[in-house]
């Protein structure tokens, strides 16, 4: 019995897609357990770029079964589009290669409309959502008025539930935001098509996963976003609408904690975030622009430029503690080549107080000033490095200092976008 959870240790976009793709080669099942199509994982294989938003990043491995768990919110139109695009390239040839949980909640057109309308109304105070309807869908889930995949397969029941939901949501959409109401018939007709397209993949994935783990299969759990976007433990309210820490596997995949063996955190060698909210180490200067350009820091889902800054050990230490990370994968170390002096935030200062933890108050976090350590950089290209010893001495010291400050061993180092541009220090399933 062996399972591994992949968790983002920053604000998302850490390179989880590449790491999941690498480890999926040694996994029987890859599971997505939270979030929606507001996340995007980019895979680069033989110079071919694949972006997935809902289907797990293990999809490029034909021996791997991909599972979308009950904790994911699904836009069926997006999912059908992903399936069609992957099948056109020769992937997902058999229905049994993809399983969708019957309890996963559905994103409806009214959810997308509300998401966009709210952000427009907030103006400069907007959260920075992707406008994909994720938040409003989770709201309905918690309010016990949402629609699930299993409901979509029963047209009569689905119509009744959608009508009830639109009675409430259309009032807000039209009266408060001035948007046209969403039509019941249009939704039911559209989703009837999706229901038949997705029906072969729908099952009780929680039961399936438990049976497979007990039978000795290797299972990889793939998180979306990052710890600092967790609805409880992130920079609230500038967060996503689900729990992004490793503990969400229990609720989002229906797998008991006893079956979760190890957690691997993913962190860039620097820090990025998208959208609004605090970001103490943000760089609005030439170095920040270099990181953005050299690191291709533009969102895989929206194309938005990412905010860039120095590595924040306070944030990653916070993430490691919350998820019980047994190891860290450091991505994009190569992007730092050519920077003479590097900085790592080891603490914050605010109003005369030193913080070595992430403050809960958003105003404190917004006003926090990072306390930096400075390290020597390096000029060498890292693209050919395949062993830790191949790295320049300054790069090795940088990695060692990250390990010390986060109290977490580094188990993988990525030095490029391709699969083989990786230094694997130990098997993550055996951390």
The Cα-based distances of 226 to 113, 132, 318 in angstroms read 25, 18, 12
Query: What spatial distance separates the first Cα and last Cα of the chain, rounded to whole Å?
Result: 14
Spell out the residues 6+ positions from residue 376 whose beta carbon is closer than 8 angstroms to its own.
Answer: 340, 341, 342, 394, 397
Active site residues: 13, 41
Task: Count CA atoms closer than 13 A to 110's CA, side-chain side.
Answer: 27
């Amino acid at each position: 019995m062996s399972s591994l959870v992949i968790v983002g240790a920053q604000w998302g976009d850490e390179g989880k897609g590449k790491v999941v793709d690498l480890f999926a080669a040694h996994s029987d099942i890859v599971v997505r357990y939270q979030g929606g199509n507001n996340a995007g994982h980019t895979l680069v294989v033989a110079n071919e770029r694949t972006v997935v938003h809902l289907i797990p990043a293990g999809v490029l491995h034909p021996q791997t079964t991909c599972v979308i768990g009950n904790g994911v919110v699904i836009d069926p139109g997006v999912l059908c589009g992903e399936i069609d695009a992957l099948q056109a390239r020769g992937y997902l040839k058999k229905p049994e290669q993809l399983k969708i949980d019957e309890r996963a909640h559905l994103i409806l057109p009214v959810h997308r409309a509300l998401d966009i309308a709210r952000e427009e109304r907030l103006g400069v105070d907007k959260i920075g959502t992707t406008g994909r309807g994720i938040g409003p869908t989770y709201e309905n889930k918690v309010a016990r008025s949402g629609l699930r995949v299993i409901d979509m397969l029963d047209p009569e029941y689905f119509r009744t539930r959608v009508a009830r939901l639109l009675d409430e949501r259309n009032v807000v959409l039209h009266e408060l935001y001035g948007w046209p109401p969403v039509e019941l018939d249009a939704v039911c007709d559209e989703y009837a098509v999706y229901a038949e397209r997705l029906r072969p993949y729908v099952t009780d994935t929680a039961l399936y996963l438990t049976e497979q783990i007990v039978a000795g299969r290797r299972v990889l759990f793939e998180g979306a976003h990052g710890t600092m976007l967790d609805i409880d433990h992130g920079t609230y309210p500038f967060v996503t609408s689900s729990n992004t820490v490793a503990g969400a596997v229990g609720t989002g995949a229906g797998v008991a904690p006893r079956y979760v063996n190890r957690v691997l955190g993913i962190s860039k060698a620097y820090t990025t975030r998208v959208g609004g909210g605090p970001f103490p180490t943000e760089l609005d200067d030439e170095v920040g622009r270099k990181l953005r350009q050299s690191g291709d820091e533009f969102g895989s889902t929206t194309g938005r430029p990412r905010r860039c800054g120095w590595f924040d050990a306070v944030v990653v230490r916070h993430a490691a503690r919350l998820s019980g990370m047994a190891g860290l994968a450091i991505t994009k170390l190569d992007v730092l080549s050519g920077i003479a002096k590097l900085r790592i935030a080891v603490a914050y200062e605010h109003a005369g107080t030193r913080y070595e933890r992430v403050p809960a108050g958003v105003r404190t976090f917004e006003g926090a000033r990072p306390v930096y350590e400075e390290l020597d950089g390096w000029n060498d290209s890292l693209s050919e490095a395949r062993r830790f010893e191949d790295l320049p001495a300054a790069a090795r010291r940088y990695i060692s200092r990250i390990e010390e400050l986060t109290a977490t061993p580094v188990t993988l180092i990525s030095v490029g976008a391709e699969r083989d541009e990786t230094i694997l220090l130990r098997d993550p399933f055996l951390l």
